[in-house]
Structure 1
Amino acid sequence: MTTTPPTPTTTDSRAHQALALIAQYRLLTTTQLHQLLAPHLPPRKIHRTLVPLREQGLITHTSLGTSSHIQAHFLTTAGLQMVADWPELRGRAATGIPTAAAARLRAAHTLTGVRAHLSFLTAARTRGDEYGPLDWMPEVTHRLPDTGGEDRLIADAVFHYTATTPRRVQYRAFVEIDRATMSSERLARKLISYARFHDYIPQQIGRRGTVADQGSMLAWQRLYPRFPRILFVLTGATRTVLATRIQDLRSMTADHDRVAQLATHVPLGATILEDLEAHGPHAPVWTPLAGTTEPRGWTQL
């Protein structure tokens, strides 16, 4: 007679939070989990949280680089099944990483995005703003109009952040993470995709197969109260190279009519990740992509 193995459970709230975070980001290091969950506690507390999750078969890990001390954690199939219906992940399909090799391949880009997120989270905690560990949503896909180009826009992340002082203001932003692994031109072309999405009105098909009212709602208005600002976070090269890539983003904004029009409605900015981490997002580390080159904080773009 065969017996069914017990269903894995999580009774510890911190374990629950850890699983939700790993599900949303797909891959997190132990240090990042510590910073996201409980930076005020000793790191060993996070290790004690992760051990039973690993023993229950909910998570596994891979070592990064040449050091076995840097571990990146991801969900197993059992872990994915557990979080599938959790309220905090509703509308955010949790997808797994099949192997440790696949985890290592995606680690650099994924973990760089988490570094940027942690800069905003640290600032929010210091300032008393409303921005939590799950308020950064990686890899958000939007349809684009069928104009012969790409049929979808995949933002590296979308986040929402509520500043509470000196007055309460809600912000949303698309984030593009650039590690200097693609050409500068290809990076700048992302601005064209955002401009297309900004103007996109889905065609509604009437009952008899005809196109309905062309004055229908813009696609983004179904999702956001206002179009999110667009932020580029660059790393992976010398400051000279990164400054050139930022200038190429400014050139695209100035030279492409559709992007220039976008810039009249949507704040656009770029920064270097190491500056973001050193000084925080509210410091003047962002270069506007239109108009002045004077650095400013991200909410002043």
Structure 2
Amino acid sequence: MSYDPRPEDSRHPRTGFVASLIEPLAHELLLALAQHHLACTQQLQLVLGPDRTREAVADRLDKLRREQLVDCVVRAPSRRTEVWFLTPKGARITQGWPALRGRPPYPITSATTARRRAPHSLTVLRAYLAFTADARRRGDAHAHLGWTPQVSHAIGDRGKLVADAVLHATPTDAQQQCTVRAFVEVDRCPGSGARLAAKLIAYARLWAYRPHAAGQRRQAGGPLWRRWYPVFPRLLFILTGAHQQTLHRRIDELQAMAVRHPLVAALAGEVPLGAVTLDDLEVHGATSPVWVPLVGTELRSWTEL
């Protein structure tokens, strides 16, 4: 489900590549792309932090491209926005790195796939960067590997839910420095709110689902999600891509579903649920009281939903 940070020999058995020998900035860039899948140059510089300049990042990306470890597509020709991704060679090299252990295969297999996925992936990365900037200001234990994009969860034999990201953070004000986990869903408001509503229902199904024991009709044991999480992660919706009035109407619709839909209402009674616009998240910070709880009216921090 997510990476396993336990130590492991960094030598990949198939490539013979030793991760610890690579130049530090190149290693950081390959690791960031392996984690986030797609990113533009400025985003990569922000992921790596203030110690890395945009010029240094751009120069090293060009070298990695010549080495056929990364490639890019141009998203907006008029602005020359380059969106970077790992090549098959780069994906093979990073696959065995300890920090990425347990993650699914790298999903970008061609420039065509990169172009198709870029709008949503770059928006999800914007959300991550807003969390990271807030965490750095506060001194929270939230390194860039505390965010796992595209996490798949089984719901029964045929169902599946793919979270845009799973966030792992340790807020400085958390009691006993406990890790707080959250599912993150980023909605760019394409079409109606049906996709967003369906995603909320899918999370309620994941929360309630208990697998059947072999040869039995009745459900046995605890919920399936306990295989991966000690506590069901809170659920955070981040909305963008429309006027503020439209975004707040979508949040109103989520709040209505948290009351009217029986399974979602049951989830809302046990799990913190909240929503925010991406603009508010970027301007005010993730731990500011900008989150609208799906049950209730008082704006809160995401850790206090």
Q: What is the TM-score of this pair, normalised by structure 2? A: 0.89
Post-superposition CA distance 1:119-169 (Å, at most 9, x none): 1111111111111112111111111135xxx71111111110011236423
> Does the 8 Å contact 2:17/2:93 carry over to 1?
no
| Aligned AA (2:245) | T
> How far did 1:75 drift?
0.8
* Residue number in structure 1 paired with 2:263: 258
- In the aligned structure 2, how far is the partner of 1:86 from the partner of 1:36? 19
> How far did 1:14 drift?
2.0
- In the aligned structure 2, how far is the partner of 1:39 from the partner of 1:156? 26
Comparing 93-102 with 260-269, greater Cα deviation is found at: 93-102
* Residue number in structure 1 paired with 2:162: 154
* Residue number in structure 1 paired with 2:62: 51
> After the TM superposition, which residues 3-18 of structure 1 pair with which residues of structure 2 at under 5 Å, given as runs?
11-18=22-29
Among 176, 197, 201, the residue aligned to 1:192: 201
- In the aligned structure 2, how far is the partner of 1:182 from the partner of 1:265? 30
State the superposition RMSD in angstroms. 2.0
> How far did 1:47 drift?
1.8
- In the aligned structure 2, how far is the partner of 1:71 from the partner of 1:94? 23
- In the aligned structure 2, how far is the partner of 1:197 from the partner of 1:98? 29
Post-superposition CA distance 1:51-91 (Å, at most 9, x none): 22111100001111133531110111111111111111111
* Residue number in structure 2 paired with 1:219: 224
* Residue number in structure 2 paired with 1:297: 301
SS at match of 1:163: coil
Among 48, 59, 64, the residue aligned to 1:37: 48
2:114 aligned with 1:103, yes or no? yes
Structure 1 unaligned regions, length at least 5: 1-5
> Does the 8 Å contact 1:271/1:286 carry over to 2?
yes
Comparing 6-15 with 266-275, greater Cα deviation is found at: 6-15
> Does the 8 Å contact 2:91/2:106 carry over to 1?
yes
2:210 aligned with 1:201, yes or no? yes
2:103 aligned with 1:92, yes or no? yes
SS at match of 2:78: coil
2:160 aligned with 1:138, yes or no? no
> How far did 1:285 drift?
1.1
- In the aligned structure 2, how far is the partner of 1:279 from the partner of 1:176? 19
Structure 2 unaligned regions, length at least 5: 1-15
- In the aligned structure 2, how far is the partner of 1:92 from the partner of 1:178? 23
- In the aligned structure 2, how far is the partner of 1:120 from the partner of 1:88? 20
Aligned residue pairs, count: 288
Comparing 60-69 with 256-265, greater Cα deviation is found at: 60-69
- In the aligned structure 1, how far is the partner of 2:195 from the partner of 2:70? 36
SS at match of 2:71: strand
Cα pair distance change 1:41/1:77, threshold 3 Å: closer
- In the aligned structure 1, how far is the partner of 2:159 from the partner of 2:220? 21
> How far did 1:297 drift?
0.9
Comparing 129-138 with 7-16, greater Cα deviation is found at: 7-16
* Residue number in structure 1 paired with 2:188: 179
- In the aligned structure 2, how far is the partner of 1:88 from the partner of 1:36? 16
- In the aligned structure 2, how far is the partner of 1:85 from the partner of 1:100? 23
